[in-house]
């Protein structure tokens, strides 16, 4: 069970990460999901990584797989039509 201090630290880290990632990824030009995920995963100490995505293929996962080695918990919620 997490203490309030642990929860507070996690929420602060989450706020820092999400505040820098307030853009839509369209996969047009340089605005790619691969680019954004690499930026997030290489910027800091990411322990938990949750992804909510409408469309996802394993080939996309393979492009960022090398950046996931230090992730303690990875959860991916994929749209029903994938």
Predicted local distance difference test score (pLDDT) of residue 7: 80
Q: Which residues pair with 76 in a beta bridge?
A: 51
Domain residue limits, the chain:
4-18+31-78
57 within 8 A of 34, measured Cβ to Cβ: no
Neighbours of 64 (CB within 10 A): 19
78 within 8 A of 56, measured Cβ to Cβ: yes
Characterise 2 by phi-psi region: left (phi > 0), alpha (psi -120 to 50), beta (else): beta
pLDDT tens-digit readout, 44-60: 788 888 877 766 677 77
Cα distance between residue 30 and residue 42, in whole Å: 18
pLDDT band at 17 (very low <50, low <70, confident <90, very high): low
């Amino acid at each position: 069970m997490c203490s309030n201090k642990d929860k507070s630290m996690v929420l602060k880290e989450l706020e820092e990460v999400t505040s820098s990632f307030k853009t839509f990824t369209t996969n047009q030009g340089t605005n790619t999901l691969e680019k954004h995920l690499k930026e997030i995963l290489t910027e800091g100490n990411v322990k938990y990584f949750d992804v909510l995505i409408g469309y996802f293929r394993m080939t996309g996962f393979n492009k960022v797989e090398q950046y996931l080695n230090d992730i303690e918990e990875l959860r991916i919620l994929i749209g029903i039509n994938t």
